[in-house]
Amino acid sequence: MFESFLVTGGAGFIGSHLVRHLASTYPAAKIIVIDALTYAGRWENLGEYANADNVVCIHGDIRDLTMLERVRAEHEPDAIVHLAAESHVDRSIHRPADFVTTNVVGTTNLLELGRQLAEHHTRFRFLHVSTDEVFGPIMTGNAEADTPYQPSSPYAASKAAADHFVRSFATTYNLPVVITNTCNNYGPNQHLEKLIPFMILRARRGETLPIYGDGEQVREWLHVRDHVRAIDCALHRGTIGATYLVGSGDRLTNKQLVIRVCSILDERCGGHHASQMQLTADRPGHDRRYALDSSRIHQELDWHAEIELDAGLRETVAWYLDNAEWMEAARTPDLNAWIATQYGHE
Ligand code: NAD
Ligand code: TYD
């Protein structure tokens, strides 16, 4: 249906899986990837797709209006899939400013680009990728698309603000938007700052596994390849103006999840990695529980998560163990030092 997709943040974790998916599923379409290559983005995440005939990689910042205008004039994409963001809660606590400029101002820049493109392409769509964190803690039941926003962290607040701008462009300018709010994703190529890769790296080094607070916070975990299929469904078949919540139903406490990862490591490498777990100071503003009601995307688009959690975790652990070089290149000592001080672990 679309001739060219503009994917922002395509050198990051979810974006790189999406580019691989789009490039292989729609070989006749052009995939234009914009990424600022921050600490979180690397063209290597695209593997051979970085050099594919139908993929164009542009090193650019979504805060740069001149660059965006150049891309519009040169490529005229008929769909924008927006994932570029500062994405790590601990970083947002440490230094919130980039979260405002990239997640809020950058999103608004892309919406303006979308307005221009929508004038020329009747089929134009803007798909905005958001998070369950905008709803704040869901102590019982599930968040629904119309649950009021109550973001706790600067990251969640910046994503909530971005979502509001997306909806305001739909209401004010009739921009054809679709929003997806997803839960915690996991899988290969996720940056080491996030829970699962961080625990794998530290476990193999014989270091402590820092669990914030009492470790009883509940998160819903979705494999990244299931998520990119959901984005594809929502982009091609979603109702204009709709919000789709994209979850797996697999909800675990952080302690339960880390124990599962440790037992997979034990099977592969021997030892008893869970004994390295250590409760630390809690994350400020740490939300107790997230849970999404994904019934709309199940019913309307017939999308369902397919990768069973244990199988997905096994694949993920294996990928990190087999990609030690990738792990080393993704280390960020500056942040690690701040995190260790903040949470009181070594
Ligand atoms: P990530 O941090 O791995 O990747 C983000 C990418 O955006 C990086 O490649 C980075 O270089 C790029 N980027 C950052 N600032 C930029 C800028 N100013 N201009 C252009 N590119 C820039 O993040 P991710 O985990 O892949 O998340 C992708 C999207 O999905 C984000 O919008 C995030 O809020 C959302 N999300 C992620 C999760 C998750 O569990 N990972 C869950 C819910 C929602
Ligand atoms: P994270 O991967 O940072 O994702 P998010 O904050 O976006 O959900 O963290 C997932 C959960 O794991 C969250 O409740 C915080 C917790 N956590 C720890 O307990 N220890 C850690 O070292 C990290 C990185 C996260």
Which of 78, 86, 90, 132 is catalytic? The answer is 132
Q: What is the pLDDT of residues 93-119, one digit of tens each?
A: 999 999 999 999 999 999 999 999 999
Domain that holds residue 227: 4-185+221-246
On whether residue 55 sits in a domain, the answer given is yes
Residue 164 lies in a domain: yes
CATH code of 141's domain: 3.40.50.720
Mutate which of 83, 90, 104 for ligand 1 pocket (most atoms within 8 A of beta carbon): 83
> Nearest ligand to the C-alpha of residue 67?
1
Q: What is the pTM of this model?
A: 0.97
The reply to whether 140 falls in a domain is: yes
Q: Longest C-alpha distance within the chain, in Å?
A: 61
Nearest Cα neighbor of 230 from 243, 246, 242 is 246
What's the confidence (pLDDT) of residue 133? 98
For 121-162, the pLDDT digits (tens) are 999 999 999 999 999 999 999 999 999 999 999 999 999 999
Residue 284 lies in a domain: no
Domains held by the chain: number: 1
Could you tell me if the CB of 254 is within 6 A of ligand 2? yes
Is 132 marked active-site? yes
Residue 79 exposed, middle or buried by CB count within 10 Å (0-12, 13-18, 19+): buried
- Reduced to 3 states (helix: H, G, I; strand: E, B; else coil), residue 89 is helix
For residue 281, CA distances in Å to 137, 277, 343 come to 19, 13, 5
Asked if residue 10 belongs to a domain, the reply is: yes
133, 163, 193, 226: the active-site residue: 133
Residue 230 lies in a domain: yes
Strands 184-186 and 218-223: parallel
**Segment 253-283, tens digit of pLDDT:** 999 999 999 999 999 999 999 999 999 999 9
On whether residue 203 sits in a domain, the answer given is: no
The answer to whether position 37 is within a domain reads: yes
